[in-house]
Amino acid sequence: MDLYQEIILEHSKRPLHAGLREPFNVQVHHVNPTCGDEVTLRVQLSGEGRSAVVADVSYDATGCSISTAATSVLADEVIGHSVKDALTSFAAMRKMLTSKGADPGDEEEIGDGVAFAGVSKYPARVKCALLGWMAFTDALTQAGVDISATSTSSSAPSASSTTITTDTATSSIMEDS
Amino acid sequence: MNLMSDAAVGDAFTTQESVAIRGDFAILSRTVRGGKPLVYLDSGATSQKPQQMLDAERAFYEQHNAAVHRGAHQLAEEATDAYEGARETVARFIGAQSREVVFTKNATEALNLVAYSFSNAAAAGAMDGVDPALAARFALGVGDEIVITEMEHHSNLIPWQELARRTGATLRWIGVTDDGRLDLGDLDTVITDRTKVVAFTHVSNVLGTINPVAAIVDRARAVGALTVLDACQSVPHLAVDVVDLGVDFVAFSGHKMFGPLGIGVLWGRYDLLDTMPPFLTGGSMIKEVRMEGSTFADPPQRFEAGVPMAAQAVGLAAACDYLSALGMARVGAHEHALTEALLAGLAQRPWVRVIGPADNKDRSSVVAFVVDGIHPHDVGQILDDAGVAVRVGHHCAWPLHRRMNVTATTRASFAAYNTVAEVDALLTALDRVPVVFGTVV
């Protein structure tokens, strides 16, 4: 089983940048309706638009190892980087996760995120890995960043059973009965 | 399946019998995740299907297929006979009269049918010609109350929430104790003269708790409230006689009891069904249609708009026959023994906590649990890697999970085809969980 890479287990046990901090521009709350996992996530930007810098991402999450570790990696990847770079990472992460095992991921673009390549073989878990990212991109939208370019330029290379759009995060994710 | 005849009514299946039963379910011999034998412990979500049921459905399509209740040709007659014959079989299986059995898409639709009857009854003219005393039972508005329980599946929760919203009635509920039983201590203050309907589950799809139907029915009757029982997790596993239960309506699904997907059942006392306005309207459910307005057929046809799912009804009847041949007492005893084995195995693992009654009394064969420090999705993934199929999540009972102070659980659920060896397979796979996640050294 190549799902639980050591790096994922490490991030899930000791998530980086965890906890809710001040100051922040926007706070969002996202829920995975299948399992009830939740994340409250805050974003602090400095500057305007896509050239703004992500000054901080702080969060309080309840979730499985995959979603906890993914949010940890997300925070570590985007803090201190421009919104533009963060969105590039998101696009690359989503492309890999929805590739059904075809895309191993680019460490240049997503850093520790490549450890999640195995998740793409388990369609039911893709939404776990994307929960934090959905919250993050929603927070950017609410902070006034136009992320539409990212949504359209990074569709999955092959048809995926999990359709993810950035503006309907929880409702577009596979629902439980 | 050819069961040995010397076993007693209340015995679990013998090894030989289990082999015979499993032989009827082709899917149980397949492998998953790189050649591992499938250990299917998710029958609470949906059961697997025996050859006999599949054969019956196929024979219907190959030999009798036609639109039921339409046409004068021979196939139409045969299809109608098959459909109505299936209704009789299903009725017999639950101790009912066939005219009280309504086929629906699933149990969710059956429960919505009842819930919508209340709000539809409020429309002008909907209850014309109905005995005012009976019509009054469906009149719901501000000041009236609907009672459910905190352990309901969303399908027996949201329809009542929405009914309350549409009518202005108030939704109340019976709470759940820490050990996963209904808290009947304040039953008399929750079910009162204001209560018009009490909807509750026979068996919790998470906790496995078998609820004390009689106590709730007695109280509901005393205040003149109607009762609706969600029997999705009882009819497939226990001998259920709807008349003995004393409730007014019972809903269950076909696919959890070896039957096909796409069919559910609403049973209702005939005098009540006869009073109720239709839920879905269209073809088949009418008496007379004019451009100015229409009248409706008697039950059960009144509630079966459109060409019905005859093949699924035939399949469900075959599933009932299959379960009857096994004997529901033996099915119940067998699953009770599996539950006993699982509870005992889990009790030996201090890092596992069962959510629901820890003892095996008044308990059905679903067992939900949490593993210390490890999310159920991760538990399920490790089990899946060993070929063990369980369900993880909140099992469509989110408020119940909140009540039990857990986000989600891992749930194993049994059917007649499961074995003690599969319980062992689950426990063995479970032992890998804390190792993989490093929670024990």
Q: pLDDT tens, position by position, for chain B (441 residues)?
A: 666 556 777 899 999 999 999 999 999 999 999 999 999 999 999 999 999 999 999 999 999 999 998 888 999 999 999 999 999 999 999 999 999 999 999 999 999 999 999 999 988 888 888 888 888 889 999 999 999 999 999 999 999 999 999 999 999 999 999 999 999 999 999 999 999 999 999 999 999 999 999 999 999 999 999 999 999 999 999 999 999 999 999 999 999 999 999 999 999 999 999 999 999 999 999 999 999 999 999 999 999 999 999 999 999 999 999 999 999 999 999 999 999 999 999 999 999 999 999 899 999 999 999 999 999 999 999 999 999 999 999 999 999 999 999 999 999 999 999 999 999 999 999 999 999 998 765
Chain B interface test: which of A11, A13, A64, A122 (most B C-beta within 10 Å): A64
Q: Say yes or no for a CB contact (<8 Å) between A177 and B375.
A: no
At B6 the pLDDT is 67
What pLDDT does B134 receive?
86
Q: Computed from CA positions of residues B173, B251, B28, A177, in that sequence, does the dihedral angle turn out positive or negative?
A: negative
Instruction: Please indicate if any CB of chain A lies within 8 Å of the CB of B87.
Output: no
Q: Which residue ranges make up each domain of chain A?
A: 6-155
Measure B154 CA to nearest chain A CA, in Å.
Answer: 8
Distance CA B138, CA B115 (A): 10
A177 in reach of chain B (CB within 8 A): yes
What letter represents residue B395's amino acid? H
The per-residue pLDDT for A153 is 40
Q: With contacts defined as CB-CB under 8 Å, which chain B residues touch A13? A: 438
**pLDDT score for A78:** 94
A36 contacts chain B (CB < 8 A): yes
pLDDT of residue A165: 34
End-to-end CA distance of chain A: 28
Domains by residue range for chain B, with CATH: 15-50+327-436 (3.90.1150.10)
Known catalytic residues of B are 396
- The label of the residue with tokens 């205040």 reads B223
Question: Taking CB atoms and an 8 Å limit, are B436 and A4 in contact across chains?
Answer: yes
- Binned at pLDDT 50, 70 and 90, residue A167 comes out as very low
Kindly indicate the confidence band of residue A159, based on its pLDDT and cuts at 50, 70 and 90: very low
Asked whether the beta carbons of residue A35 and residue B393 sit closer than 8 angstroms, the reply is yes
Which residue in the block uniquely carries the two structure tokens 């011999």? B29
Cα–Cα dist B332/B315, whole Å: 22
Give pLDDT, residue A111.
87
Which residue's entry shows tokens 């379960």? B323
- pLDDT value, residue B439: 77
The confidence score (pLDDT) of residue B128 equals 86
Say whether pLDDT at A173 is over 60. no
Q: Which residues of A touch B436 (CB under 8 A)?
A: 4, 9
Residue A160 has pLDDT above 60, yes or no: no
Is residue B217 a contact partner of residue B227, using CB atoms and an 8 Å limit?
Answer: yes
Say yes or no: B204 contacts chain A, CB-CB below 8 A.
no
Q: What is the pLDDT of residue B256?
A: 98
Q: Tell me A1's DSSP state.
A: -
Chain A contact for B398, CB < 8 A? yes
Nearest CB partner across the interface for A35, out of B377, B436, B437: B377
**Closest by Cβ to B378, choosing from A62, A65, A177:** A65
What CATH number has the domain spanning A6-155? 3.90.1010.10
Report the pLDDT averaged over residues A11-38: 92
Between positions 108 and 137 of B, the ones with CB within 8 A of A are 108
Closest CA to B253 of B391, B94, B104, B390: B104
This prediction has a pTM of 0.91
pLDDT at residue B65, as a whole number: 97
In the 8-state DSSP scheme, what is residue A155? -
The answer to whether the CB atoms of A125 and B396 lie below 8 A apart is no
Q: Is B156 on the interface with A (CB under 8 A)?
A: no
Chain A contact for B46, CB < 8 A?
A: no
Bridge partner list, B264: B104, B253
- Chain B: residue nearest A129 by CA? B377
Gap from B120 CA to chain A (nearest CA, Å): 25
Tell me: pLDDT of A170 over 70.
Answer: no
Scanning every residue of chain B, which has its alpha carbon at the shortest distance from the alpha carbon of A176?
B396
Helices A65-78 and A123-142 pack at an angle, to 10 degrees, of 40
Eight-state DSSP code of residue A32? E
Q: What is the ipTM of this complex?
A: 0.81
Which residue in the set A34, A38, A122 is minimally distant from B393, CB to CB? A34
What is the CB neighbour count within 10 angstroms for residue B211? 23
Residue of chain A with shortest Cα separation from B34? A1
Name the residue among B28, B61, B25 with its Cα closest to residue B322. Answer: B25
Q: Which residues contact B251 (CB under 8 A, 6 or more apart)?
A: B104, B107, B110, B111, B114, B156, B228, B229, B230, B231, B232, B264, B265, B266, B267
A176 touches chain B (CB under 8 A): yes
Asked if B35 has any chain A CB less than 8 Å from its own CB, the reply is: no
CA distance B428 to B19: 22
Size of interface A-B (CB pairs under 8 A): 55
